[in-house]
Amino acid sequence: MTAPAFAGPGHDRTEGDLVAAARSGSMDAFEAIYREHSPKVYALCLRLSGGVQADAVELLQDVFVRAWRGLGSFRGDSAIGSWLHRLAVNAMLERARANSRRLARVLPMEETSDFDAPGLPEDPDMRMDLESAIARLPQGARIAFVLHDIEGYQHQEIAAQLGIATGTVKAQVHRAHKLLIKALDR
Amino acid sequence: MNEELIDPEKLRALEAKVAGLPRAIHPPDVWNEIREKIERDSITPIGRSTASPAIRFWQKPGFMLAATVLLIASTSVTTMIALRGDSAARDSASVASARPAAMPASFLQFAAKENNYIQTANRLQAIVESEGSTLSPETVAKLKKSIAVIDAAILEAREALAADPANRDLIEILSSSYDKKLDLLRRSAAMGRS
Query: Is the per-residue pLDDT at A120 higher than 50?
Result: no
Tell me the CA distances in angstroms from B116 to B57, B175, B177, B182, one per residue in order: 29, 11, 14, 11
Structure confidence at residue B90 as a pLDDT band (50, 70, 90): very low
Interface contact A60-B27, CB threshold 8 A: yes
Q: Give yes or no for a contact between B80 and B73, defined as CB atoms under 8 angstroms apart.
A: no
SS3 call for B97 = coil
Q: Does A1 touch chain B (CB under 8 A)?
A: yes
- Higher pLDDT among residues B108 and B36, named by residue: B36
**Chain B residues lying within 8 Å of A131, measured CB to CB:** 21
Burial of B123 (0-12, 13-18, 19+ CB in 10 A): middle
Query: pLDDT tens digit string along A42-94?
Result: 999 999 998 999 999 999 999 999 999 888 777 776 789 989 998 998 888 77
Look at residue A10 in the predicted model and tell me its pLDDT: 44
Helix residue ranges per DSSP H, B49-167: 61-84, 87-96, 107-131, 137-163
| Cα–Cα–Cα angle for B91, B93, B98, rounded to 5 degrees | 95
Query: pLDDT tens digit string along A169-181?
Result: 999 999 999 999 9
Interface contact B45-A22, CB threshold 8 A: yes
Closest CA to B48 of A75, A78, A70: A70
Least CB–CB distance from B6: residue in A43, A65, A178: A178
**Which one of A13-27, A100-114, B24-38 scores highest in mean pLDDT?**
B24-38
- The residue-averaged pLDDT of B115-124 equals 77
- Higher pLDDT among residues A28 and B55, named by residue: A28
Distance CA A140, CA B60 (A): 47
Q: What is the ipTM of this complex?
A: 0.79
Q: Give yes or no for a contact between A145 and A166, defined as CB atoms under 8 angstroms apart.
A: no
Least CB–CB distance from B25: residue in A42, A180, A184: A42
